[in-house]
Amino acid sequence: MILQQVSSPHLHAARSTEEIMLRVLLALLPGIITMAHFFGSGVFTNLVVACVAAVLCESICLRLRKRPVLIYLKDYSAVVTAVLLALALPPYSPWWLITIGALAAIGLAKHVFGGLGSNPFNPAMVGYVVLLISFPVQMTQWTAPSTLAANPTAWDSLLAMVGSEAYDAVTMATPLDLIRQNNGLMMSALWQHYPQFGRFSGVGWEWINLAFLAGGVWLVQQRIFTWHAPVGMLAALGLMSALFYDGGSSASGGSPLFHWLSGATMLGAFFIITDPVSGATSNLGRLIFGALVGLLVYCIRVWGSYPDAVAFAVLLMNFAAPFIDYYTQPKPYGHKPPDADK
Amino acid sequence: MSTIYSFHGGIHPAEHKTESNSAPIQAAPLPPCLIVPLSQHIGLPAKPVVKVGQRVLKGECIAMADGHLSTSVHAPSSGYVSAIESHVIAHPSGLSATCIIIETDGCDEAIAATPHPDWRSYEIGELLGIIREQGIAGLGGAGFPSAYKLNSDEIHTLIINGVECEPYITADDRLMRERSELLEQGIEILQHITGAQTVLIGIEDNKPEAIEAVRTACKHRDWAVVSIPTKYPSGGEKQLIELLTGQQVPQAGIPADLGIVCQNVATATAIAQAIIEGQPLISRITTLTGECITEKGNYEVRLGTPIKYLLEHVGYARDQSQKIIMGGPLMGFTLPNLDVPVVKTTNCILAPGDNELGSETRTQACIRCGHCAEVCPASLLPQQLYWYAKSQSHEQLKAHNLADCIECGACAYVCPSALPLVQFYRAAKGEIKEKSIEQRQAEIAKSRFEARQARLERDAAEREATRAARKAEAKAKAKQDARFAGEEDPVQAAIERAKAKKARLQQSGEADSVSSKLDELKAKVERAKFGLEQAQSSGKEEKVLTALSASVQRLERLLAGEQAKQEQTQEPSE
C-alpha cells in the first residue's frame, strides 16, 4: 500500500494569487467608472489597448522564458499592471504610446528581472516614467472634464486611439499644472480664474480620487494589504502640505485636501505603493515607505519640474525598500527584554 | 478572573471538531500484536529489561528509563515478547527504531499496582521518580519526559494546557469533559511538586462543555480556568504562556526561566493515575477522524496498537491516493505505512478524503504579499526567510532568526502562492545544523592538531633540558672525579642524582601536567560527544548509540573528578 508523503501543513486557506489580483481589479472599478464619467470613453480605449498589449507582451516573455503561458497568465498580474498604467495615462492616448508603456512595464520592468515577484521596481510606474520622459507632449495632454467641455464621442476616442490627425479634443491644463505654473495669483483668485479647480482640487479629480479611496479602503477591509503604506503616504503628504500651506498666497503649494484629492494621489496610495513585490516588507517598513513616498510626492509636485510625482516618488522609494527592510525587521517572539515590572 | 493577553499572528482555520467530539471516549479493542517502541519521548530511548519469549503482564515495565532525560516503557497488555527488533515507527521521515513486540494473550492480566494515595507525604524527588518510572511523557504532542520538565526550582506559575488548537483533534476536549476529577487531582499533584502559587488552566472557548466540567471540578480551588479565544496556535507552549501571563519565553530559553512550567491536560491526568493509582502509561486517548473513517470519535488506545488494526476497527474506507496524518492537519506528519504503532504522542489519526483538506494547488511565485508575516506567531518575516532559504543564505537566515520558527505552518496555510514554506525552513534548519557540525568537526581537528603540536614541542624541550642537565652533571662529575678520585660513595651519588631529577621534573612538569591532563580529557569528551551526535544524526544502530553515550558519560565523570581534584589542590594556595 502506498501512502502519500507530504510535508505539513496539510491545510491551506482558499485564497490564491489570482483571487488577490481579481479583487484588486474589482476595487479599481469605482475609480474607472468615475474617470470615464468625467473624461469619456477614452478611458476605456486606454484600458483595452493596455490590456491587450500587456497580455501579448507577457505571453511572449513567458514563452521566451520557457514558462507555461496559460497557467502564468491566469495570475492576472499582467492585467493589473496594464490597468494601473492605463489609468495613469491621459485618456485618448494613441495606441502606440500605450503599447510602448505596456512593453516597458511588462518586458523591461518585470520579466527582465525574473517575472512576477522578482521585480525591484513597480512595473506600471516604470512604464509611465518611460513614456513621460520620452513623450512629454502626449503625456501631459489631459482632456477637459465633461462638465467643462463636451466629451469626445466614442468615434473620436477610436480616432484618437489609432492616432489619427482627425481627432482634436479640447485639452486643458490639470489643476496640478496650474498650481505649479502659478506665479502671482492668490489661491482664491486661481480658483475663480480657472474653472478646472472645482470644489477642492479639480473638477472630476476630486471624485475620481474619492472613488479610488473607496476601492482602496475596501481592499484594506478585505485584508488584501494592510493600512500602513496608504496611511503613511497620505499622512506625510497631508503633513507636508499643511506645513507649507500659508492660507492661500500665490506661493502656496496647495492645501492638504487639494493634494489628497488631486492627480494620482489615491490611485498611488492604495494601488501603486501597496504593490508588495517592490515595496517594503514589514508593517513598520511599509509605514515608512509610504510616508517617504508622500514626502517625495509633495516635494516633486511643489518644487520639482513635473506636475504629478507619484511615479517618480514610488520608483525612488523602490530603490530604498531593501534598505528600509534592513532597519525595520520586527522583533521576533522572545527577543524583547523581559518586562521591567516582572 | 485572569487577564487574557494576546500573541502576534495566528490563523482561524475551519475547526472540524464536531465530527469527533460528540461521542464519549470508547475503548479500542486489544490487538493481537503490540509494537512498543523504546523511544516514544524526547531523549534517550529506554533500555529493554525483558527477553524474547518472556511472558509479560499488563503494566509490567519492559524497558527502563535511561537516565533523567528518558522515561520507562510498560507492557500495554499481557502476552509474550515475540521480538525486540527494529520496526518502522511514527516519525516524519519514516525512520525505524527498536521496538518490543508483544503477542497478546487476550487475558489482559495486570501486574499488581502500587498506589500512593498518601502521596502528599512523599518527597518531591520520590514523586518525580514515580512519574519517570511510570513512563509519563508530554502527551500534548512533543513527548518531553515530564519528570525532567517538572524538576526545576523556583516555579511560581503552573500552566495547564487544555487549548487543543489544531483542527480536528478533540482528545483533550473529551478528556476534560469526562475525567475532570482525575485532572483536578493531577493538577493538585503538579502544584505540589512544582510549588507553584498560581495555577492557570487555559482552554479554548470552542470547548464550552470542557470549560464547564473543569470549572466544576476545580470550583473549590483558587485556580483560574481561563477561556481563551479560539485561534491557532494558541496551544503552542510559548503562545499560551504569552496569552496567560503576557510574558514571552526568552529566545533559546525555557519557560522555567520565567518561573513557569506548562503541562498538558492529558499529561496531568496520566500523572494522577500514575501516582494515586499506581497505573503506568500504557494507553492514551486518540482522536480518529477524517472523511475516510466512518466511526469518528475518541478512543482509549493501547500504546503499540498498529494503526492498520485501529483503522480497520473504525471503518476506514480507503480512498485512492490517500494520506494518513498522525497529529493534526497543521503540524501532523504523513505516515509512511500503516504498520506504524500508536505511541505516547499520538493525539490524532486523521484519514482525510481526497479533497477534504483542499485540492493540491500549483505553487506560484512569492509576491511578498506579507500575509505570512501577519500570521506568524513568532513575529518572523516568512517571506524573507523563504528567499534566503531558497538561496541558502545561511547568514541571512540566522539574522532573520530562522531558529525561532516553531514550524506551526500558519504561513504556509495563508500563502496565496501555495508555497511549501515550512518545508523550506525545515530543510534550511537541517543544512545549518549540518554545517555547524562540520564546523565543530573542523574546530576539534584543529585543536587536536594544536595540542599535538604543543605536546611535541614540550617533549622536545624536555628532552633537550634533560640532555643539557645530564651533560652538566657528567661534566661536574668528571670534575669531581678528577678532584676527589676514589673518595665518592656511589650510592650517595645515585641518591643525589635521583633527587636532582625529581626536583627538575617538579619544576617544569607538575603544574603543566595537571592542566594538560584536564585539557586532554576535555578534548576526549568533546570528541566522544561529537561522535555520539553524528551517530544519532546518521541513524546508527541502537547498540552503537548506547555504547557511545555510555562512553560520553564515563568520560564526563572522569573529567568532573579530575576538575574537582584540581580545584581542591588549587584552593589552599589561593
pLDDT digits 0-9 by tens, A139-171: 877 777 766 666 777 777 777 777 766 566 667
Would residue B141 count as lying in a domain?
yes
If pLDDT is split at 50, 70 and 90, which confidence band does A196 have? low
How far lies A69's CA from each of B361, B363, B365, B540, in Å? 17, 15, 14, 48
Measuring CA to CA, which residue among A338, A230, A223, A214 is closest to residue A279? Answer: A230
Question: Are both B289 and B371 inside the same structural domain?
Answer: no
Interface check B427 vs A, CB under 8 A = no
Interface check B414 vs A, CB under 8 A = yes
Question: Are both B274 and B407 inside the same structural domain?
Answer: no
Interface check A340 vs B, CB under 8 A = no
pLDDT digits over B96-117, tens only?
Answer: 899 999 999 988 898 988 899 8
Contacts of A282 in chain B (CB under 8 A): 370, 373, 381
Contacts of A338 in chain B (CB under 8 A): 247-248, 250, 258
Contacts of A325 in chain B (CB under 8 A): 384
Tell me the residues of chain A between 157 and 196 that have a Cβ less than 8 Å away from chain B.
Answer: none
Spatial separation of the C-alpha atoms in residues A157 and A86, rounded to whole Å: 14
Question: Are both B405 and B274 inside the same structural domain?
Answer: no
Q: Do B330 and A75 touch (CB under 8 A)?
A: no
Q: Do B323 and A335 touch (CB under 8 A)?
A: no
pLDDT digits over B120-146, tens only?
Answer: 999 999 999 999 999 999 998 788 999
Mean pLDDT of chain B: 88
Contacts of A12 in chain B (CB under 8 A): 357-358, 361, 412-413, 415, 418
Interface check B93 vs A, CB under 8 A = no
Query: Do the Cβ atoms of B540 and B95 come closer than 8 Å?
Result: no
Spatial separation of the C-alpha atoms in residues B566 and B574, rounded to whole Å: 13
Q: What is the pLDDT of residue B320?
A: 58
Question: Are both B398 and B292 inside the same structural domain?
Answer: no
Q: Do A9 and B329 touch (CB under 8 A)?
A: yes
Residue B531 clears pLDDT 90, i.e. is over it: no
What sign has the CA pseudo-torsion A158, A164, A170, A173? Answer: positive
Give the nearest chain A residue to B254 (CA atoms): A334
pLDDT digits over B371-403, tens only?
Answer: 899 999 999 999 999 999 999 899 999 999 999
Q: Do A334 and B380 touch (CB under 8 A)?
A: no
> B457, B478, B499 — which closes off a domain?
B478
Question: Are both B293 and B377 inside the same structural domain?
Answer: no
Would residue B187 count as lying in a domain?
yes
Question: Are both B290 and B431 inside the same structural domain?
Answer: no
Give the nearest chain B residue to A11 (CA atoms): B357
How would you list the strands of the sheet with B73-74, edge to edge? B47-48, B61-64, B73-74
Tell me the residues of chain B between 8 and 47 that have a Cβ less than 8 Å away from chain A.
Answer: 8, 11, 13
Candidates A111, A333, A336, A342, partner chain B, best to mutate (most B CBs within 10 A): A333
For range A177-201, the mean pLDDT: 68
For range B242-253, the mean pLDDT: 91
Residue B228 clears pLDDT 90, i.e. is over it: yes
Query: Do the Cβ atoms of B526 and B509 come closer than 8 Å?
Result: no
For range A255-284, the mean pLDDT: 91
Would residue B487 count as lying in a domain?
no
If pLDDT is split at 50, 70 and 90, which confidence band does A250 have? low
If pLDDT is split at 50, 70 and 90, which confidence band does A71 have? confident
Interface check B311 vs A, CB under 8 A = no
Q: Do B335 and A225 touch (CB under 8 A)?
A: no
- Give backbone dihedrals phi and psi of B555, rounded to 5 degrees, phi first: -65, -40
How far lies A110's CA from each of A85, A156, A277, in Å? 14, 33, 11
What sign has the CA pseudo-torsion B236, B242, B244, B247? Answer: positive
Would residue B546 count as lying in a domain?
no
If pLDDT is split at 50, 70 and 90, which confidence band does B167 have? very high
Provide the domain limits for residue B261: 26-298
Would residue B361 count as lying in a domain?
no
Nearest Cβ partner for B358 among A11, A19, A339: A11
Question: Are both B290 and B392 inside the same structural domain?
Answer: no
- Give backbone dihedrals phi and psi of B130, rounded to 5 degrees, phi first: -60, -45
Question: Are both B169 and B274 inside the same structural domain?
Answer: yes
For range B401-409, the mean pLDDT: 92
Total number of domains constituting chain B:
2
Residue A43 clears pLDDT 80, i.e. is over it: yes
Mean pLDDT of chain A: 86
Question: Are both B372 and B294 inside the same structural domain?
Answer: no
If pLDDT is split at 50, 70 and 90, which confidence band does B223 have? very high
Measuring CA to CA, which residue among A209, A257, A268 is closest to residue A233? Answer: A268
Tell me the residues of chain A between 35 and 94 that have a Cβ less than 8 Å away from chain B.
Answer: 71, 75, 77
* AA identity, residue A116: L
> B478, B506, B534 — which closes off a domain?
B478
Query: Do the Cβ atoms of B317 and B304 come closer than 8 Å?
Result: no
Interface check A15 vs B, CB under 8 A = yes
Question: Are both B423 and B293 inside the same structural domain?
Answer: no
> Percent of chain A, pLDDT > 90?
51
Q: What is the pLDDT of residue A341?
A: 41
- A·B CB contacts under 8 A: 169
Q: What is the pLDDT of residue A152?
A: 72
Would residue B514 count as lying in a domain?
no
Q: What is the pLDDT of residue B570?
A: 59
pTM for this prediction: 0.79
Interface check A226 vs B, CB under 8 A = yes
B171, three cell numbers: 482528545
How would you list the strands of the sheet with B157-162, edge to edge? B224-228, B198-204, B157-162, B260-264
> B239, B271, B298 — which closes off a domain?
B298
Measuring CA to CA, which residue among B148, B150, B143, B146 is closest to residue B41? Answer: B143
CATH code, domain with B167? 3.40.50.11540
Would residue B218 count as lying in a domain?
yes
Interface check A14 vs B, CB under 8 A = yes
If pLDDT is split at 50, 70 and 90, which confidence band does A342 have? very low
Candidates B379, B415, B421, partner chain A, best to mutate (most A CBs within 10 A): B379
Would residue B545 count as lying in a domain?
no
Residue B170 clears pLDDT 90, i.e. is over it: yes
Measuring CA to CA, which residue among A186, A308, A163, A176 is closest to residue A252? Answer: A186
Residue B28 clears pLDDT 90, i.e. is over it: yes
For range B162-190, the mean pLDDT: 94
Of B368-377, B412-421, B450-459, B506-515, minimum mean pLDDT range: B506-515
pLDDT digits over B71-96, tens only?
Answer: 999 999 999 999 999 998 888 777 88
Q: What is the pLDDT of residue A150?
A: 67
